[in-house]
Amino acid sequence: MAAIREIKVDVAVVGSGPGGQKAAIQAAKLGQQVFLVERELELGGASLNSGTIPSKSLREAILDLTDFRERSFYGKDHPVPAVSIDALNHRLAQVLAAERAVVMRQLRKNGVHWLHGVASFTDPHTLEVTDGEGQLVARIWAKQIILATGSRPRHPAGITFDGQVVVDSTQLLRIGRVPRSLIVIGAGVIGSEYASFFAALGVPVTVVDQRDHMLPHLDSEVGTHLQGALSQMGLRFIGNRRWLTVARVGDMARVEVDDGANPDTHETLEADVVLCAVGREAQVDGLAIERAGLELTPRGYIPVNELFQTAVSHIFAVGDLIGHPTLASTSMEQGRLAARHALHALARPFPEVYPQGIYTIPEISFCGATEEELRDRGVHYEVGRAYYYEIARGQIEGADVGMFKLLFHAETLEILGVHIIGRAATEVVHIGQVAMTFHARLDFFVETIFNYPTYAEGYRIAALNGFNKIPAR
């Protein structure tokens, strides 16, 4: 039996996703000795191995290999080129290998040590690390501990996931074939993104959700736009329905759903594959948090204060483990901030204004309030819009589906919300984000020269449209 390593460090980090990586690197940059523990053989967490990077790589591969961006010039009836799973996987493998190399290089460059194994507390300062067989390989004593163990797909009771026909979002990446047809249960971000990718690929896709439209947290006008674009791609959305049974029957997936209007009537759907995307849950099993004196919130997350500090003052937690907003982008910053707080380095609070990107086809991004939120709060607001067909860049690139929507205070003109659907939305949203961070007013966009032709010019067109709606000043 190999000797058990006894390790004493300043900072131990559990989990190598975006939260753990940035926490470890920040702590190392502050001159601390840092040890990171990761359960999987590959570093990078869900973000790199089963979530953000694979899904976005798949999206780009589908857009390129199906000539999706060309289609608007040739009409809806232009046939979708057949794309093999090998072609998709070839590209995916290259991106993942390159990104993994970047993660390793960054950790190495900053002197972060890492260890493969499952970490669990034995007391508030000590973690035991076991290997795949459950054998103890190391014991780590750390002054400060940062937990970043992320999340995994929720598996509702009553559904048997077989990894081939009935799958979650992690398993979907490994089915080794392009499904001939797909049912997606759950029209949240992950379900909607994958549904749109496969619809773009020409796969018949049906999305089922108990709510009446997809992505209900969106500004509803943007949501309507999305749904229109998806149904033009042939995607079928069945809202106000609950799944009753999900099962593999022979080689097919069979899903029974109730009828929202008539609960006694059931509809049976069949497809090659069913993706269950009904939320994610924090990954705490194996950590033995009770031995550290920690408890979970009723929803299963680790509670933290605004410094990302848990109820035990030297233990911090970040990323999906602490719940909303559960994004790679925010987890990274939480990790960096947690390390700074743990080490008493100067740190600003977590930003109030940050964007969310949803990589459906078409993509969506927003920051700030929705129109519904402003209405509920009784804010005196106005709206400026620019449609992609009005933006020269959109015409040039065949991106005629999309909209910029700027929400601003009708008296002060301060920008209160930026919502974009359409090509490059997740990039150009940052202009609005910066403007909002500095409390910019609508006239900033009217008086600013943008490169022409660009998508960013949409800000100016939307601002001019908004300006026309307020009394002359």
Ligand X SMILES: Cc1cc2nc3c(=O)[nH]c(=O)nc-3n(C[C@H](O)[C@H](O)[C@H](O)COP(=O)(O)OP(=O)(O)OC[C@H]3O[C@@H](n4cnc5c(N)ncnc54)[C@H](O)[C@@H]3O)c2cc1C
Q: State the Cα–Cα distance between residues 342 and 348, nearest whole angstrom.
A: 13
Interface region with ligand X, contact rule CB under 6 A, candidates 35-43, 82-90, 337-345, 384-392: 35-43
3-state secondary structure of 11: strand
Q: Does 119 bind ligand X (CB under 6 A)?
A: yes
Rounded to whole angstroms, how far apart are CA atoms 140 and 11? Answer: 10
Does position 164 interact with ligand X (CB under 6 A)? The reply is: no
Tokens (6 digits) for 154: 């929720």
d(CA 145, CA 427): 34
Contact present, 185 and 276 (Cβ < 8 Å): yes
3-class secondary structure, 40: coil
Instruction: Provide the phi-psi class of 45: left if phi over 0, else alpha when psi is between -120 and 50, else beta.
Output: left
Member of 7, 11, 19, 257 binding ligand X (CB under 6 A): 19
Q: What is the DSSP letter of 284?
A: -
- Angle formed by the axes of helices 189-200 and 220-232, nearest 10°: 30
Q: Which residue has the tokens 């359960």?
A: 39
Using rule CB under 6 A, residue 169 touches ligand X:
yes
Q: Does 40 bind ligand X (CB under 6 A)?
A: yes
Please report, as residue ranges, which positions from 353 to 382 form the binding site for ligand X (by CB under 6 A).
Answer: 357, 359
Q: Which of 7, 9, 13, 14 binds ligand X (CB under 6 A)?
A: 14
The residue from 26, 28, 38, 302 that contacts ligand X (CB under 6 A) is 38
Q: Mark residues 48-87: x for contact with ligand X by CB under 6 A, - for none.
A: ---xx--xx-------------------------------
Q: Which of residues 294-323 bind ligand X (CB under 6 A)?
A: 319-321
Give the span between the Cα atoms of 322 and 146, in whole angstroms. 12
Using alpha carbons only, what angle is made at residue 322 by residues 319 and 328, rounded to the nearest 5 degrees?
20
Query: Reduced to 3 states, what is the DSSP secondary structure of residue 432?
Result: helix
Write down the least CB distance from residue 177 to ligand X, Å: 19
User: Based on CB atoms, which residue is closest to ligand X, 327 or 361?
Assistant: 327
Q: Binding string, 220-259, against ligand X, x = CB under 6 A?
A: ----------------------------------------
Write the interaction track for ligand X spanning residues 327-356; mark x where CB under 6 A is met and - where it is not: xxx-x-------------------------
- Contact pick of 58, 61, 148, 425 for ligand X (by CB under 6 A): 148
149 near ligand X, judged by CB under 6 A: yes
Helix axes 189-200, 52-65, angle to 10 degrees: 20
Name the residues that contact ligand X, by CB under 6 A. 14-20, 37-40, 45-47, 51-52, 55-56, 118-119, 148-151, 169, 190, 283, 286-287, 319-321, 326-329, 331, 357, 359
